[in-house]
């Protein structure tokens, strides 16, 4: 099993959102990766500059960060060839590691643009080293920059940041400091290729929470009526937990609830409803144990939202 620690650099429309390609808002212009064995020993590296096909100039903000000129890219490798070479280099069995949660999604979006998505069937399981760093060294929620983590661990900074191969190298060096048991039980899943049917729905148990990804729905309103979506189970014993605060939607358009497991206490639920590029909808639900105080905070939040919405309705009636 090869451990592939990779990083991508990408470009966007130099003319801003109005001239952006809806199918490819971010075009990959560099792939960098290091290969490790299961003992976390570095065995090889990979780097390709990508010749752009969609955007004919580098966005100013991108150029300021990565210091790659457009003329450097004109001698690059076309994306289909570069990605074929990348997957061949990865080997027949591999696990992906990245810093953050965006690279895996953008790789799939670029693959889809070139009708090559079959190269990476999804949903894609990978390991987010940014998250692993937080679990191992901080509170599990804080998300730090790559340079911050390198400084925290006193990793020598003998290369600059914000180039694909260099960032992959630093991510790999950080990964080497994390125990295998912490790594393997904290995988991430990217649902750019989301479940289409009920039999494909995803249930994952992590050390501190459970995650569920639903199938697609044609209408957003039908999602919260689905029994599996709105169910609440204890993430420890996985038995049904009795609802104490029904699902309500907060200011961030996320549904929340509080339930009670007789053995393990309060369970907080969160549901995010996401829209696909084909204008269909699916839900991502997380369930985690919380303290009584945290449960009361959720109750107070619901009541505050209710009061504000009631006041708005009264004001609209008076107008």
- Would you state the pLDDT for residue 119? 96
User: Among 298, 292, 297, which residue's Cα sits nearest to residue 261?
Assistant: 292
Q: Break the chain down into helix, strand, coil percent, rounded to 5.
A: 35, 30, 35
Q: pLDDT of 251-281, one tens digit each?
A: 888 999 999 999 999 999 999 999 998 999 9
Residue 290 near residue 263, CB atoms below 8 Å: no
Decide if pLDDT at 5 tops 70.
yes
Residue 285 has pLDDT above 80, yes or no: yes
State residue 133's pLDDT score. Answer: 98
Q: Distance from first CA to last CA of the chain, Å, rounded?
A: 66
- What is the predicted pLDDT for the residue at 64? 61
For 77-104, the pLDDT digits (tens) are 999 999 999 999 999 999 999 999 999 9
The vertex-141 CA angle with 105 and 302, nearest 5°, equals: 100
Distance of CA 128 to the CA centre of its chain: 8
Indicate the pLDDT class of residue 19, thresholds 50, 70 and 90. confident
Distance separating alpha carbons of residues 205 and 193, to the nearest angstrom:
20
Considering only residues 62 and 150, tell me which one the structure prediction assigns the higher pLDDT.
150
- Angle, helices 103-113/79-90, rounded to nearest 10 degrees: 130
Specify whether the CB–CB gap between 240 and 233 falls below 8 A: yes
Sheet with 124-128, edge to edge strand ranges? 77-78, 42-51, 27-36, 2-11, 94-98, 124-128, 188-190
Asked which of 54-68, 123-137, 145-159 is least confident by mean pLDDT, the reply is 54-68
Least confident of 184-188, 234-238, 287-291, 311-315: 311-315
Portion of the chain with pLDDT greater than 90, in percent? 79
pLDDT of 222: 93
Residue 11 vs residue 261, higher pLDDT: 261
**Cα-based distances in Å from 75 to 44, 70, 263:** 24, 10, 63
The pLDDT tens digits of the residues spanning 196-240 come to: 999 999 999 999 999 999 999 999 989 999 999 999 999 999 999
pLDDT beyond 80 at 71: no
Q: What is the pLDDT of residue 317?
A: 67
- pLDDT average, residue stretch 40-59: 91
Give the model's confidence band at 309: pLDDT under 50 very low, under 70 low, under 90 confident, else very high.
Answer: confident
State the pLDDT at residue 260: 97
Are 260 and 287 in contact by the 8 Å Cβ rule? The answer is: no
Q: Would the pLDDT of 66 be above 70?
A: no
Q: What is the pLDDT of residue 60?
A: 67
pTM strictly above 0.75: yes
Residue boundaries of the structural domains of the chain:
2-184, 195-314
Predicted confidence (pLDDT) per residue in 140-149, tens digit? 989 999 999 9
Position 8 pLDDT exceeds 80: yes
Choose the CATH number for 2-184 among 3.30.420.10, 3.40.140.10, 3.60.15.10, 3.30.110.30.
3.30.420.10
Mean pLDDT within 289-301 = 96
């Amino acid at each position: 099993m090869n451990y592939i620690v990779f990083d991508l650099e990408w470009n966007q429309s130099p003319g801003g959102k109005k001239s952006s390609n809806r199918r490819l808002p971010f075009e990959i212009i560099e792939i960098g990766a290091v290969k490790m064995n299961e003992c976390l020993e570095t065995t090889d590296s990979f780097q390709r500059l990508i010749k752009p096909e969609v955007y004919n100039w580098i966005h100013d903000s991108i150029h300021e960060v990565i210091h790659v000129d457009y003329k450097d890219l004109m001698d690059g490798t076309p994306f289909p060839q570069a990605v074929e070479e990348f997957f061949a280099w990865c080997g027949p069995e591999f696990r992906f590691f990245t810093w953050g949660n965006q690279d895996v999604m953008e790789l799939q979006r670029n693959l889809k643009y070139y009708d090559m998505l079959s190269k990476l069937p999804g949903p894609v399981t990978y390991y987010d080293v940014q998250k692993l760093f937080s679990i191992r060294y901080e509170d599990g929620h804080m998300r730090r920059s790559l340079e911050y983590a390198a400084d925290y661990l006193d990793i020598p900074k003998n290369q600059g940041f914000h180039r694909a191969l260099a960032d992959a190298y630093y991510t790999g060096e950080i990964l080497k400091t994390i125990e295998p048991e912490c790594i393997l039980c904290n995988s991430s899943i990217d649902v750019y290729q989301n479940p289409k049917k009920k039999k494909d729905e995803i249930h994952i148990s992590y050390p501190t929470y459970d995650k569920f990804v639903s199938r697609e729905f044609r209408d957003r309103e039908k999602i919260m009526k689905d029994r599996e979506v709105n169910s609440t189970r204890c993430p420890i014993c996985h038995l049904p937990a009795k609802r104490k605060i029904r699902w309500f939607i907060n200011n961030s358009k996320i549904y929340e609830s509080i339930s009670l497991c007789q053995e393990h206490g309060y369970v907080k639920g969160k549901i995010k409803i996401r829209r696909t590029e084909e204008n269909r909808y699916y839900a991502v639900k997380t369930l985690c144990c919380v303290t009584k105080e945290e449960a009361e905070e959720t109750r107070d939040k619901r009541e505050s939202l209710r009061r504000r919405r009631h006041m708005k309705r009264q004001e609209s009636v008076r107008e």
